[in-house]
Structure formats: C-alpha cells, structure tokens
Amino acid sequence: MRTINRAALLALATALALMALLPHLASAAAEATPLRPVQVFDVKAGKVVKTLDNDKQYQDIAAAWLKSAGGPAPQLGPDDKCGFVYRIPLEGAMMVKVRDEQVPVQDVFLFHCEGKQPVLLVFDAKHRPFLLEFNGDLKPFLSKIGERSGK
C-alpha cells in the first residue's frame, strides 16, 4: 500500500479549497468595484460640469434606452443648442442591434438637443461610433440628475 505525504495532501486540499472559493472571491471583488460615474458634459462650456454616482437606477434607464433603440439616427452637427451630453457607463457590456449585427457597448451617451429628438451614441469594441434613434422616456433620468426639462 502506498503512503501519502502529509505535506502533499495538505497542499492538495488547500489548492482544492482555493479553487472552490475563486468564483466567490472574484464576484465579491467585482461587487466591491464601483461603477464609473455618470457624467454631464456642457457643450457650450466644453467640459464635464457634473459627476454623479452610478447606480442600479441609471443602469436600468440605460438598458431600457438601448432596448428601445431603433435604426441609425440622423447625423448630428456641431450645435450650441445641444446643451448637454450625458454619459452612463454600463456595469458590463450590453448587446445592441445596429443594422444587422449585434454590437457590444460599454457606455451610453445621450444627446438631448433643443428642438430635436434625443439620440444615443454608442461605440462598438473597435471604437466605431453609432448614433441611434430610441423611444425612451427621459423624465426619470432628467429628474434623477436634477434637470428641470423632461421633454
């Protein structure tokens, strides 16, 4: 009968225990990592004027916008009437249908321009930009960030 070295048995047991815990440790680390903040960019000022903690409500809003996204939006030109651009970083990549392909996106940019339909700007993994029309309700988002206009 073969004898097992105690040190080898202990090392094997430790390795197995660590392997069993790794998925839990990885998810705990991911939960501890805060989401990148929501940002409000003032087009006229040319800078970020507000930074907000990103939370589940922002994630839900962005997900609803992306789910309602339709086809490509008309191109936007430089325009001072487009007062603000809002950025919502996503917790994880979301797939969005653009034309006939599914595109993974990490951030959602909302262009809310006076007198125009709001549009979303997303980038794929190759950093190609896509402007998308969508049918989302802006009121909950604008209320949450403290904007008065909910058009």
The verdict on 55 and 26 lying in the same domain is: no
Please state the domain count of the chain. 2
Encode the chain (151 residues) as per-residue pLDDT tens digits.
444 444 443 433 333 333 444 454 444 444 557 889 999 999 889 999 999 999 999 999 999 999 988 877 776 665 556 789 999 999 999 998 888 888 899 999 999 887 888 899 999 889 989 999 898 889 999 999 987 544 4
In a domain, 151, yes or no: no
- pTM value surpassing 0.85: no
Query: Are residues 134 and 79 part of one domain?
Result: yes
Residues 5 and 60 in one domain: no
Q: Long-range contacts: 140-144, Cβ < 8 Å, 24+?
A: 140/57, 140/61, 141/58, 141/61, 141/86, 141/110, 142/112, 144/57, 144/58, 144/61
In this structure, the answer to whether residues 44 and 78 fall within a common structural domain is yes
Cβ proximity of 92 and 46 under 8 Å: no
Domain that holds residue 20: 1-32
